Chain A
């Protein structure tokens, strides 16, 4: 009988927890990265493969556990004032950049105030709430906010507020700095070599400030463009770890069933990718709330999770995922109910007008998912035509609002103000980008509630506003809520401690070790 992957995941995490054997130093881990990153200077480049590789070279002030509680990293402690306006970070002493220069508060101020302000859109979203950043001494940094900003403390992850060396970048043209070919961070691994199209090699930072860490001598990121070849590389033993998204879902059960093969879906809690169905709120049948509700009732989301995603991930209740805070659990779930969907369609008088559906051009799983949804919708009488595109075409179609239904997935970033409100607030409607309020949903009350919630203090007040906004969204269905994705990381069981944080897919190798 086929072993269910979800139970395998559970079993593996049970095994890893009591594994308190003494860690052994030494060994190199071979893994893969897909696609090849365009560069490794985190903060300057924010795409997923850069984050995954460079998350081991660079660090942020804080790290987050799998429940997204802050943990010390470059900051060893921090205080928040009672009014929620002043955040004081005490930096760890004796930290050195990979080139030997000391890391100080001046680097923090430069990174946040100059480097990220110019280059980094996700940091800019946080920076707009900051009034001043000051360094009273070499090991203290004080952020003063103009008004309270709930998710402030969760914004210091390495990929969002990367600490970059001031002595290398100050006064230069950041993007054309020679040092970009040889990234300098404070992290547990140093950049060694990048043979383009073949491998990126990182080696152990012998001077790392945390005693005994890292255990590994190095990491080789193999670059293998074909999914089937990546699976083969794991099967024949050249590669020990397959990070998220490197093999097609239908290959996952086969690889997990191999001897000495483990799998985990941890390490995604921070990003918590949320798959959604854009529905064009502007025109056509999708402009009618009843049609959008019908789509929710028509889709069999459990089927998609169990069959296409090997049982990993969670079917979301509503607009707020389980990893985002402040979820309103009192809402009535949209169960798979074709009759109700037909009823709603009759009531609105849907006349069989053709609906265009755009799959996400990210591989076979998404094509199959689009087929499954198409079939669900046909069952209730919706006339769907799937229109496949490549990434460029998909970007353009969504940016031009030229679609009726379209697949996408978005990161939740641990807080509704960072990852969720952007999809629903009307100030985020703007042609030309596939990542804003693409569906064109406008509701003044929703705008107001999201606004209030982001700056309310303390958390109880935020919760109230967020619960209210979820009720409105749940009724209006601006977009379809498909699945909180569970991406498996597949690895040899003797690679221990691979995922130790809520961003573990990107900063995991720090604690990892290989058992003989």
Chain B
């Protein structure tokens, strides 16, 4: 019951926040120089003003900005995200088309970075004064500091060009006509490089956070008690230290999960992964207002949802939070 009320409250807040985000984004985008009609005309090399006039009229860009805002907001209220100027398709279709690819990529990267990051962090915490522990931390620092696009390019050069182990780009082999399990395998092969590249950065952060917060937890009195009871080191690490060190990791995981829709622009571009990030970048360059706003909306909604989820997970991980609220 308590959860139900909490969720309802949070959802109502979320709707207000979303509404404000829509309005803010709308003005932000319209403040950028240039408009989609001019860009489309430019691409067509069109010189006559009739062409521009037709475009502006069709997109409603000839109307005052508050009218345009009203059209947009009232459309959203009925879940109508409008029409993409450039792609000539409903925005919702475009986003839904690209969403699975992005979720597959970012979801894989999320699981990968979380699992490996916590593992590496715990290992590093357990071997705090050993060479192996320092090595893990050095690697984590390296991945944390290296720009993502560079890692991506180098991975392509190494694994695709020199070793020829993995495909360099795309989501499946074009023209191979694969089906069933063969297709799954093919997609998995294409997924390895982009997902790993994307995971590295967050993996490094999880490693560092896990280690730091486990080291802190290991100084606590209950750990000493556990040791005094004669519990095995492994059990103490897992049950007493790691569990108590989880909260900052959950916070971070919530943040990463919130970025799942829009957070992979670079990776998607370098690896030609047909996802939302690329769509967003192209929409920005084209001043494709409706499409861009639609993607912003989905990103914002996802961040809000994961904030709520994170809150709930906190309560599961640490029941004291529930009592405090």
Number of A residues contacting the other chain (C-beta, 8 Å)? 55
Q: Name the distance in Å between A254's Cβ and chain B's nearest Cβ.
A: 12
A180 in the interface (beta carbon within 8 A): yes
Tell me which of B27-35, B197-205, B219-227 binds A. B27-35
For residue A229, which residues in chain B have a CB less than 8 angstroms away from its CB? Answer: 156, 168-169, 270-272
CB contact list, A469-512 vs B, under 8 A: none
Q: Name the distance in Å between B221's Cβ and chain A's nearest Cβ.
A: 54
For residue A180, which residues in chain B have a CB less than 8 angstroms away from its CB? Answer: 88
Distance between Cα atoms of A266 and B50 in the complex (Å): 33
A410 in the interface (beta carbon within 8 A): yes
Task: Name the prevailing secondary structure of the B interface residues.
Answer: helix
Shortest Cβ distance from B42 into A: residue: A395
For residue A28, which residues in chain B have a CB less than 8 angstroms away from its CB? Answer: 175
Distance between Cα atoms of A69 and B170 in the complex (Å): 41
Q: Name the distance in Å between B287's Cβ and chain A's nearest Cβ.
A: 5
Distance between Cα atoms of A224 and B168 in the complex (Å): 10
Given known pairs A197-B275, A410-B45, the reply for A224 and B50 (CB within 8 Å) is no
In contact, A38 and B87 (Cβ under 8 angstroms): yes
B129 in the interface (beta carbon within 8 A): no
B65 in the interface (beta carbon within 8 A): no
In contact, B42 and A434 (Cβ under 8 angstroms): yes
B189 in the interface (beta carbon within 8 A): no
In contact, A238 and B33 (Cβ under 8 angstroms): no
Shortest Cβ distance from A237 into B: residue: B164
In contact, A411 and B39 (Cβ under 8 angstroms): no
For residue A410, which residues in chain B have a CB less than 8 angstroms away from its CB? Answer: 45
Report the contact-size class of chain B (Cβ under 8 Å from the partner): 35 or more
- Of A48, A233, A390, A436, which contacts B168 at CB under 8 A? A233
In contact, A121 and B48 (Cβ under 8 angstroms): yes
Tell me which of B2-10, B69-77, B277-285 binds A. B277-285
B240 in the interface (beta carbon within 8 A): no
Shortest Cβ distance from B287 into A: residue: A392
Distance between Cα atoms of A199 and B175 in the complex (Å): 9
A365 in the interface (beta carbon within 8 A): no
In contact, B34 and A225 (Cβ under 8 angstroms): no
Distance between Cα atoms of A346 and B87 in the complex (Å): 52
In contact, B38 and A224 (Cβ under 8 angstroms): no
A292 in the interface (beta carbon within 8 A): no
> What sequence of 0s and 1s flags, for each residue 423-448 of chain A, a beta carbon within 8 Å of any chain B beta carbon?
00000101011111000000000000
Residues of B participating in the A interface, judged by any CB pair closer than 8 Å: 32-35, 38-52, 58, 86-88, 94, 97-98, 101, 153, 156-157, 160-161, 164, 167-172, 174-175, 268-272, 274-275, 278-279, 281-282, 285-287
Known: A195-B274, A389-B33. 15 other contacts (CB 8 A): A36-B282, A45-B44, A197-B98, A197-B274, A197-B278, A198-B170, A222-B272, A225-B272, A390-B34, A392-B38, A392-B286, A395-B38, A396-B35, A410-B45, A435-B47
